[in-house]
Amino acid sequence: MSSNAIGVHSVQEEYFYLMVHPCACGGPWFFDEQKVQETADQVLHDVKARCAACGKERTFHFELPEESKRDRSAPVRRINPTAESSRAVDLAEWMGLARFYLARIERLENKVERAQSLLDARQCLEEALKFYGLSDDAPPPEALWSDESQRKVAADPDAYRRAALEAMLEKMTSRNRLRQADAPDQREFKKALQEEARRRVGRQWWQFWKRGSN
């Protein structure tokens, strides 16, 4: 992996990384420009982001797995198809994201958007669970990378026990059913990307982010 790149499993994981690492002023990052460099064994994704609050710009360097070049039919919202835990977002941060999307459902009226939010929440819980070893009930220390994450777990340890996460997942709709509810919206999204690609000679639809000269 490139020395200064953040290893992720998907572009969706990049988005979640930006959510849990906001600007120093507290404002959220928004993608401004993107650049992709592909080599034989890696995909480097440079994201220029802008803070919505103070306007500060920052470039984030991500590295996607080589397999992402081949898996073009993967669901757009999929975070991580492997059993490997995240190298970008820690256990407590995944739990915070899951709670954010669960709370967001209450404010949504559109059924597809509610399904999308629940799908995101479920996947974030699944990512958190990947940090637990076979015999772990509580989060292992190496799964908490910051003082803030350690404080959150210490303040409410029962909420971070493996059994609590598994109980939450059991109450949720299955991932496959949620993907079915999300499918029509994903088809429309990919259709929009294909229309964008048709205006860019020599590009496949999944290369829509390559914004260089036409």
Q: What is the pLDDT of residues 35-61, one digit of tens each?
A: 988 887 789 999 999 999 999 999 999
Residues of the chain with pLDDT under 70: 1-3, 68-76, 182-214
Task: Tally the C-alpha atoms within 13 A of residue 86's C-alpha that lie toward its C-beta.
Answer: 30
Q: Of the CATH numbers 2.60.40, 1.25.40, 1.10.10, 2.30.30, which one belongs to the domain with range 6-78?
A: 2.30.30
- Find, among 20, 147, 146, the residue nearest to 95 by Cα: 20
Length of the chain as a residue count: 214
Cα torsion for 116, 73, 65, 201, to the nearest 10°?
Answer: -110
Confidence (pTM): 0.81
Kindly write down the DSSP assignment for every residue of 124-151, as one continuous string. Answer: HHHHHHTT--TT-SSPPGGG--SHHHHH
* Domain spans of the chain, in order of start: 6-78, 91-181
Give every CB contact of residue 138 below 8 A, 6+ residues apart in sequence: 153, 157, 160, 161, 162
CA–CA dist 114, 85 (Å, integer): 26
